[in-house]
Amino acid sequence: MIDLAIEDDIARVVLNAPEKRNSLDLGALQELAAAYTEAEAAGVRALLLTGEGSVFCAGRDISAVDPATDDAEGYLTGTLLPLMQQMSSFPAPTFAAVQGACLGVGLGLTIATDVVYVAQDAKIGSPFAALGAILDSGGHALFTERLGAHRTLDLIYTGEMMSGTEAVTAGLFSRAVPAEELLPFTEERVAKAARGATQSFVASKRLVAQVRDERAGLWDSIASESAVQAALTATADYREGFKAFQEKRKPTFTGRD
């Protein structure tokens, strides 16, 4: 489901499973890591990450997950965290064009990307209120740093979404543009970066990453989220949330273990 094309010193990585809203299972994360490895080996000077269809990424693919045996920590810490670190340290400028929903793991992919442009009507947030799980993929660090504690917990408790415009105004991403202009807008800037002084860009990228990790503790936060997510898999609400999602019904939570 991950497509890679390399042309003119630019790698284009596409999440290509629009029939399931580009949600990512373990195999897809491994494919994505392999695509970044191949792009790095090719020596590209810029990378563009996109999602095919009307949605960038709806998060983790849990359609076939059994909540009774779910290894959430293995998925998050064993595969997602190394992938995000690989994406974040990619030795060239990276860009993402985000349309539609950007949730959960999809949000994590944007956290690990240098520059993120979003459609004005994109949907950003934490859908985990309906799953009996927690916001993961670095969302706690990003939201708390940019939005503050009150707004972060408001989004988590309510499950409400921010538009792309609201997310940019709050400082989550770089720019919001009309949906129909998003891809050409992003491609133009990717091409410009690919013609630029790549080594100086990478030097700045490393300095920004150093400051960011010192302020937000991003990688430590993801590891902590993963441990909490693993503990929640033992709760009745977690199992109910997953089953309700798979059965396309509203969950009935008890709020107890």
The radius of gyration of the chain's CA atoms, rounded to the nearest angstrom, is 18
Low-confidence ranges of the chain (pLDDT < 50): none
Edge-to-edge strand order for the sheet containing 115-119? 2-7, 10-15, 46-51, 94-98, 115-119, 175-177
Residue 206 φ then ψ, to 5°: -70, -40
**Could you tell me where the beta strands, DSSP code E, fall in 120-245?**
123-125, 161-163, 175-177
If you search the block for the tokens 């997953």, which residue do you land on? 242
Give 166-213 pLDDT, tens digit per residue. Answer: 999 999 999 999 999 999 999 999 999 999 999 999 999 999 888 877
Per-residue exposure over 160-177, b if at least 16 CB sit within 10 Å of its own CB, e if not: ebbbbbbbbeeebbbbbb
SS3 32: helix
Which of 140, 117, 104, 124 has its CA nearest to residue 49? 117
Per DSSP, the chain holds a count of helices (H) and strands (E) of 11, 9
Whole-prediction pTM value?
0.90
The terminus-to-terminus CA distance of the chain in angstroms comes to 37
Note whether 84 and 111 are within 8 A (CB).
yes
SS3 235: coil
Residue 216: the pLDDT is: 61
